[in-house]
Amino acid sequence: MNRIARTERASTKRRTWYWVWRFVFAAIILGFLATLLIRATVVDLYRIESVSMQPTLNPGQSIMVDRRAYQDSEPQRSDVVVFDGRGSFLPYERQSVGDSISRALRLSGAQSTYVKRVIAVAGDTLECCDSSGRLLLNGEPLDEPYLMAGDDPSLIEFEVEVPAGRIWVMGDHRSQSEDSRSLLGASGGGMISLERVEGRVQEIIWPMDERSAVR
């Protein structure tokens, strides 16, 4: 009888652990799927790797991006946005079905994802520069308090009109930024399709002592 009782207790223990591990595994899977869903539709996190947006964003910082920001509106001048550069910043790179799935799962995309500031939107005329070296937006000098100290607004002369469905973007550290100015002769003229904009940068979340809203 003791042997039978011990066997039954062992069997019950095994069944208990089986259900515990099933629960833990299911919880992990559900947590992973919930994280993917949130990152794909609500907010996402990115790490800054370049100096092109200094002093607003610095290498090593992590930023939170609101992916819902443009569901019912379009990017506005001065917004800091994250976008997929394929077809504009990477004019000859196209997205395959595999790429779409991989980006949806947040498994790739870092090499084609950029963060820049919106300088001009559809219908705007932008040119460089007036006699004081400032950009002219629709004929008026553009005030740019976010520029890196010591940088000129642009050393590349240009004049563009932004078409419908596009935006013109530039880095805040102009002397170290490859942006819409660098792609004037490429497909799309360096202007970003609204369909490629993934969200608006809301705040710096890491390091904690540098946490602040992005403007």
Distance, in Å, from the CA atom of 204 to the CA atom of 212, rounded to the nearest integer, reads: 5
131 tagged catalytic:
no
13 tagged catalytic:
no
Catalytic residue among 88, 112, 116, 154: 116
State both tokens at 141. Answer: 């000098």
Catalytic residue among 52, 88, 112, 180: 52
> Are 197 and 167 in contact, with CB atoms under 8 Å apart?
yes
- How many C-alpha atoms does 214 have within 13 Å on its Cβ side? 28
DSSP state of 159: E
CA–CA–CA angle 6, 9, 11 (5° rounding): 110
In the sheet that holds 158-161, the strands lie side by side as 140-141, 136-137, 125-128, 158-161
* Sign of torsion over alpha carbons 40, 41, 47, 48: positive
Residues carrying an active site annotation: 52, 116
